[in-house]
Amino acid sequence: MKEYSKSKLNRVKRGQIRATYDVEKINTILDAGFIGYVSYVYQGGAITLPMAYGRKDNKVYLHGSQANRMLLALLEAKQMSITVMHLDALVLARSGLHHSVNYRSATVFGTVKNIVNPKEKEAALHCFMEHMMKGRWDGIRPMHPEEIDRTLVVEMTIENASAKIRDVGVGDEPEDYELEVWAGLVPIKQVAEYPIVDKGLPQQLDIPKHVLDYYEQHKA
């Protein structure tokens, strides 16, 4: 089992029993999501924004316009972190203070660089698209060179990370278990609904297999 080394930056202080530094578990949390929360400093103030991402090995890719102030700020700082979190259940206890949630959360830290080589850019964007939906890249038109030129692609190399996972039931006070108060879990998950066809020519086309495969894997 390969783990990230613990440091002041990534060590989990509260709820250490739920912490993990296992590389495979952290990658699994990243791969199960598509939106991460990226923080950066702009004109002396902290800003956090949700961003779509792609992951391959120890690399995370973000992209935007060449004028994207968040990406430019990250490149200037030469480092970044991103957090991905999945809400799995509401934990309803007998006491208000023992209400909680079940979740999987990973925060990764690393250095960033601007990808300028067109072929490397295209490979990064391929990773991004395949992270969103496997098989999608081969089902769309190739990108025009000018589109690639207009796109700022940032590569993050993960150097450290940690995760927290809660996947247990209610933790009430022992004396409260005899109370006539309902307690338990309300499981929560993100699901895909049946694909909606766009206007125009797609109405005359069959829904691609990779889209239907995604629907079948993620439907309720």
Query: Is residue 162 domain-shared with residue 209, that is, in the same domain?
Result: no
Query: Is residue 22 domain-shared with residue 60, that is, in the same domain?
Result: yes
Query: Is residue 57 domain-shared with residue 43, that is, in the same domain?
Result: yes
Mean pLDDT of 126-143: 96
Which residue carries 């125009």 as its tokens?
200
Mean pLDDT of 198-219: 92
Residue 94 sits at φ, ψ, to 5 deg, of -85, -20
What's 152's domain CATH number? 2.30.110.10
Query: Is residue 65 domain-shared with residue 52, that is, in the same domain?
Result: yes
Query: Is residue 78 domain-shared with residue 184, that is, in the same domain?
Result: yes
Query: Is residue 185 domain-shared with residue 198, that is, in the same domain?
Result: no
Q: Which residues contact 122 (CB under 8 A, 6 or more apart)?
A: 143, 148
Q: What angle do CA 86, 88, 91 make, to 5 degrees?
A: 130
pLDDT of 106 reads 98
Longest CA pairwise span in the chain (Å): 68
**Cβ pair 45, 15 in contact under 8 A:** no
**Cβ pair 181, 210 in contact under 8 A:** no
pLDDT band at 203 (very low <50, low <70, confident <90, very high): confident
Mean pLDDT of 84-88: 98
Mean pLDDT of the chain: 96
Domain that holds residue 76: 16-189
CA distance 67 to 71: 8
Query: Is residue 101 domain-shared with residue 205, that is, in the same domain?
Result: no
Query: Is residue 216 domain-shared with residue 122, that is, in the same domain?
Result: no
62 falls within a domain: yes
pLDDT tens for residues 94-103? 999 999 999 9
Mean pLDDT of 149-156: 97
Query: Is residue 121 domain-shared with residue 217, that is, in the same domain?
Result: no
Give 135's strand partners: none
pTM: 0.93
Q: What angle do CA 50, 52, 56 make, to 5 degrees?
A: 130
Q: What angle do CA 16, 27, 218 make, to 5 degrees?
A: 110
> Structurally, how many domains does the chain consist of?
2
Q: Is the pLDDT of residue 192 over 90?
A: yes
pLDDT tens for residues 8-43? 999 999 888 999 999 999 999 999 999 999 999 988
**Cβ pair 112, 59 in contact under 8 A:** no
197 falls within a domain: yes
